[in-house]
Amino acid sequence: MSASGVLLLPRLMVVVWGLLLPHSLLLVQVSGGEVMTWYKTQVSKDKLQTQTPTDITSNRIIECAVMASQNPGTRHLFCHPDAATCSFYDLKVEAGHKDSAIGPVQDCWTRHPNESEASSVPFADLVAQGCVFLNSTLRTFDEARSFCQSEGGDMYVTGDFTGLQQYLGDNTYSHCTSLVVMAIHYTEVWVGGKSRVWLDGRSVTEDEWRPGEPNGGPNDCIRMREMNGDPHLMMDIGCDTAYPVMCQKGVAFP
């Protein structure tokens, strides 16, 4: 991690802004490529005092999240009670929990989502393109599509290709119910395209392909790739290759 707060990860860069709001999120990549989500919550100080926390010295929320993610079995919750300390607890508290009615509270972060929410992943609300989600876990095309479908959507298909390029290149975004505190940048990602067409049946246009593409088999799958500082463009590749995926909520394709 650099002094500027940039955490560099394979195919993923997490940039953390110094903004903390109720229900905001922190994303941390753990071993195996999985991303652990931490949710803002509030916990009664009396409840916290029922446990002896594990304290470490740190003045950065993202460093607290990284260290908590390294021991998820016993670190279900962490708090940042002052500018120099992270306190880790084995308390299972849901996101958005508030104990304000029973006394003073502490702002904390939990890895347990609010089970009443429809989806377990933080979809981002793009005015022109709907609710989308970038998942960093490396999956084959079929695995990636199954994941998107399990979250109430499908792989991402766009009618605004320039907007998609802009989102992938610089995607600071609003969460569908709140504000996400980071932007995520991917150099390569699966989108909803296969056999040289989008999943909605439209042909991929010449302007959407990277020069020289498609150059694979007629049944290859399609990912977006950024190269040499140029915007993301579409490239075909075997469907058993593993990449992150971009999902869209509330859609289903044949």
Digit-coded pLDDT (tens) for 11-29: 333 333 323 333 456 777 6
Work out the pLDDT band at 102, boundaries 50, 70, 90: low
Mean pLDDT of the chain: 77
- C-beta of residue 114 within 8 angstroms of C-beta of residue 126: no
Task: Give all domains of the chain, ordered by start, each with its CATH number.
Answer: 6-110 (no CATH), 124-249 (3.10.100.10)
- C-beta of residue 228 within 8 angstroms of C-beta of residue 129: no
Beta bridge partners of 36: 28
- Measured CA to CA, the distance from residue 182 to residue 27 in angstroms comes to 8
Beta bridge partners of 13: 8, 185
The one-letter amino acid code at 3 reads A
Angstrom CA distances, 235 to 15, 160, 194, stand at 27, 17, 10
Q: Of 151 and 90, which is predicted with more confidence? A: 90
Preceding peptide of 214 cis, ω within 30°: yes
- What is the per-residue pLDDT across 57-85, written as a single tens digit (0 to 9) for each? 988 888 888 888 887 778 889 998 888 99
pTM of whole model > 0.85? no
Q: Which pLDDT does position 103 carry in this prediction?
A: 76
Q: Which pLDDT does position 12 carry in this prediction?
A: 35
Q: Does residue 136 register a pLDDT over 70?
A: yes
Tell me the mean pLDDT in the region 167-195. Answer: 62
Per-residue b/e over 34-71, b at no fewer than 16 CB within 10 Å?
Answer: ebbbbbbbbbbeebbeeeebbeeebeebbbbbbbbbee
The one-letter amino acid code at 31 reads S
Tell me the mean pLDDT in the region 201-227. Answer: 95
Tell me the mean pLDDT in the region 180-207. Answer: 82
Q: If DSSP codes are grouped into helix, strand and coil, which group holds residue 86?
A: strand
Per-residue b/e over 133-171, b at no fewer than 16 CB within 10 Å?
Answer: bbbbbbbbbeebbebbeebbbbbbbbeebeebbebbeeb
Q: Does residue 172 register a pLDDT over 60?
A: no
- C-beta of residue 249 within 8 angstroms of C-beta of residue 151: yes
Q: Of 112 and 84, which is predicted with more confidence? A: 84
